[in-house]
Chain A
Amino acid sequence: MTQMAAMFVVERLVHLAAVDVVIIAFYFALVLAIGWYLKGQSGTGEDFFMAGREMTAWIAGLSFLSANLGSLELMGWAAAAYQYGILATHWYWIGAIPAMLFLALVMMPFYYISKTHSVPGYLKLRFGESARTLSSVSFAFMTVLMSGINMYSMALVMKVVLGWDINFSIWVSSITVAVYVALGGLRSAIFNEVLQFILIWAGALVIPIMGLIEAGGWTNLKAQIAVRASSEYTHLWSTLGSFKDNPMGIHWTGIVFGLGFVISFGYWTTDFLVVQRVLSAKDLRAAKMAPIIGAAFKMFVPFIVILPGLLALAVLPQKLVGEGAAVASGGHSYNEVLPLMLARYAGPGLLGLGITALIAGFMSGMAGNVSAFTTVWTYDIYRALIKKNASDEHYVKMGRWTTIIGVLISVGTAYLVMSFLSIMDYVQALFSFFIAPLFGTVVLGMLWKRTSPAGGFWGLLAGTVSSISMWAWVKADPSALRYVALSPNARDMAENMYRALWSWIVCVTVTVVVSLLTKPKPDSELVGLVYGVTPIPHEKDMALWQRPIFWGAVVFIVFVLFNIYVW
């Protein structure tokens, strides 16, 4: 969501009735009530930071997905669907499902059995303090900055959609999140994320239902899009044979290897924002089932995000345009597609619920950032580097204060972005620098016991530095795109994917070479951390339908069928 200031016209898109305001106010009251109710259940570090490790698979799974389902994601990908067609679905299917299943069935046993508090905490156990410090400092720094960017973007959306003052939106939403997370810790964040997940669906599902009725069903919708835009807009794979044949300027190798493998696996298996939710599961089976449940619901998110964008191509009387053109002409931009569709079908009450869904999406994402930041700061930076042997009570108190301070830093970032818009582009690029190499380090550490502590650290550092170098190279010399992204016709998204792929390859190569040249840890120190030396509880005593592998296979088959249906 770049260049936010220029992306909306000035007039507000919708007008709320009294019942809509009541619904929004009730939502705020309920999330605060949940935080207040749970404040007595967060007295220990295990309770505050890990939700007592007693969440069921369903709660951990819905929370896992909800922390990712921010409102900017909803609005941004609906806009992308209008602009690029059904290609945007790749970010929900191949860009998520295989990675989530891999996390559940391959990586979760090691995260869970090691009893780590965080992903940087796993790096400490596997590779030592230097790898943890590199990972935790970069994660903590980027998480609060991203939270601030999302906060500013959401406040701008509220200003344009509802006419709300930006300062009012920033402070009301951030104080609410700070209060309920500081009071109840991760448990409060997770409870609210489950509630927010339900409200997102309840508020957003009306649009595709009514839209499909108006368009006359899926077949008629495709026919109308073919007339008003292009038939390519409803094909997922068949246009990816060449960079020039599709509006994204992307090749199938970028989607499969860059997005589907490196970026997706990096985000879903090593970003602590989402992994933290699964670590709160009550046992190993629940921890394995949680990402599978998340994957099952993730497959259906395009129905409330991508489908509204496609429906808008067919039913909206006006043509939506880019941000600059919208400002110049006084028209509407792609980014307004979801509020426009909401205003088209939602009368009083439904409109309030739809706006609540957007606010809930924003708050779930922000609470995810803040609770992950709090845990990494307290356990992986403060306890590891600043104060090693304090009491559990001291760390919980630090966690509560860190929640508030993290929110305040986010608010500061939001105001900084308001003054210097270009910061958004840089921070979002910075965030991508760490994800792909981290996946290389973690997956090698889990699956190859020969990986040495030195190999893990230098591989992670080399991968990150190579990613930054490629980004700087293209910034300084745009013609370098032909080398980084393999084609001068590639666009921003393609560049991101190939940069992630190369940095992952650099990370893995350096890790392997350095590991072979240095001394590995003995097997006795790798128990619970690495495949081959960790006893993993078998599931042979369970009925077939109780086994995570069975449900993982079911989700994967449905995923394949969906892709074939819209090939």
Chain B
Amino acid sequence: MRKGGGISIWFFVGVSLLVNGALILGAGVWEILYPPTNPVVLFRLHANVWWGAALLLLGIVYSLKFSPNRVSS
């Protein structure tokens, strides 16, 4: 939803998913390199790696698709 050529809400959603995804993926990779002393249950599945990657990909798609530059061009 935009008004007068403004920024779409989906762009904000994309940015949020992109930043959160990158941070979670980074934290997951860090845990693989430096395993914690008290891991969470099912640590071997590395949920933060694949969940972070999924959010990052979705965030990239939404940020690009609803980018203000792309929308206004």
Chains A and B belong together in one complex: yes
Residue of A nearest to B6 (CB): A41
Interface residues of B in 5-55 (CB under 8 A from A): 6-7, 9, 12-13, 15-17, 19-20, 23-28, 30-31, 36, 39-43, 45, 47-48, 51-52, 55
Residue of A nearest to B36 (CB): A347
Q: Which residues of B contact A344 (CB under 8 A)?
A: 40-41
Of A19, A195, A202, A315, chain B has the most CB atoms within 10 Å of the CB of: A202
Q: Sort chain A's interface into a size bin.
A: 35 or more
| 9-residue interface stretch from A48-56, A450-458, A502-510 | A48-56
| 9-residue interface stretch from A348-356, A410-418, A461-469 | A348-356
B27–A345 touching, CB < 8 Å: no
Is A1 in contact with chain B by the CB < 8 A criterion? Answer: no
Is A194 in contact with chain B by the CB < 8 A criterion? Answer: yes
A346–B40 touching, CB < 8 Å: yes
Residue from B15, B27, B45 within 8 A of A19 (CB atoms): B27
State the majority secondary structure of interface residues on B: helix
Residue from B19, B36, B47 within 8 A of A210 (CB atoms): B47
Q: In whole angstroms, how far apart are the Cα atoms of A59 and B27 in the complex?
A: 32
A52–B9 touching, CB < 8 Å: no
Q: In whole angstroms, how far apart are the Cα atoms of A195 and B13 in the complex?
A: 6
Q: In whole angstroms, how far apart are the Cα atoms of A26 and B19 in the complex?
A: 9
Interface residues of A in 145-197 (CB under 8 A from B): 191, 194-195
B15–A30 touching, CB < 8 Å: yes
A544 to chain B, nearest CB (A): 26
Residue of B nearest to A353 (CB): B20
- A347-B28, A349-B28 given; A34·B47 CB < 8 A: no
Q: Which residues of A contact B7 (CB under 8 A)?
A: 37
A347–B40 touching, CB < 8 Å: yes
- A214-B41, A347-B28 given; A195·B16 CB < 8 A: yes
B17–A347 touching, CB < 8 Å: no
A347–B4 touching, CB < 8 Å: no
Residue from A54, A213, A353 within 8 A of B42 (CB atoms): A213
Is A22 in contact with chain B by the CB < 8 A criterion? Answer: yes
Q: Which residues of A contact B47 (CB under 8 A)?
A: 206, 209-210, 345-347, 350
Q: In whole angstroms, how far apart are the Cα atoms of A26 and B12 in the complex?
A: 12
A349–B1 touching, CB < 8 Å: no
A23 to chain B, nearest CB (A): 6
Q: In whole angstroms, how far apart are the Cα atoms of A1 and B60 in the complex?
A: 39
A345–B19 touching, CB < 8 Å: no
- A202-B17, A210-B42, A214-B42 given; A54·B3 CB < 8 A: yes
Is A553 in contact with chain B by the CB < 8 A criterion? Answer: no
A349–B48 touching, CB < 8 Å: yes
Q: Which residues of A contact B45 (CB under 8 A)?
A: 210, 213
Residue from A17, A23, A56 within 8 A of B20 (CB atoms): A23
B48–A191 touching, CB < 8 Å: no
Q: In whole angstroms, how far apart are the Cα atoms of A26 and B23 in the complex?
A: 11
Q: In whole angstroms, how far apart are the Cα atoms of A26 and B28 in the complex?
A: 19
- A52-B3, A345-B42 given; A191·B24 CB < 8 A: no
Of A191, A344, A349, chain B has the most CB atoms within 10 Å of the CB of: A349
Q: Which residues of B contact A472 (CB under 8 A)?
A: none
B23–A22 touching, CB < 8 Å: yes
Q: In whole angstroms, how far apart are the Cα atoms of A206 and B1 in the complex?
A: 29
Of B27, B30, B43, B55, chain A has the most CB atoms within 10 Å of the CB of: B27
Is A536 in contact with chain B by the CB < 8 A criterion? Answer: no
Q: Which residues of B contact A59 (CB under 8 A)?
A: 1, 9
B6–A350 touching, CB < 8 Å: no
Q: Which residues of B contact A19 (CB under 8 A)?
A: 23-24, 26-27
Interface 0/1 of A17-31, CB less than 8 Å to B: 101001100110010
Q: List 9 A-B contacts (CB under 8 A).
A: A26-B23, A41-B6, A59-B9, A194-B13, A210-B41, A210-B47, A344-B41, A348-B27, A349-B24
* Known contacts A198-B16, A210-B47, A345-B40; 12 further A-B pairs (Cβ under 8 A): A19-B23, A19-B26, A23-B20, A26-B20, A191-B12, A214-B41, A347-B28, A348-B27, A349-B48, A350-B24, A350-B27, A356-B20
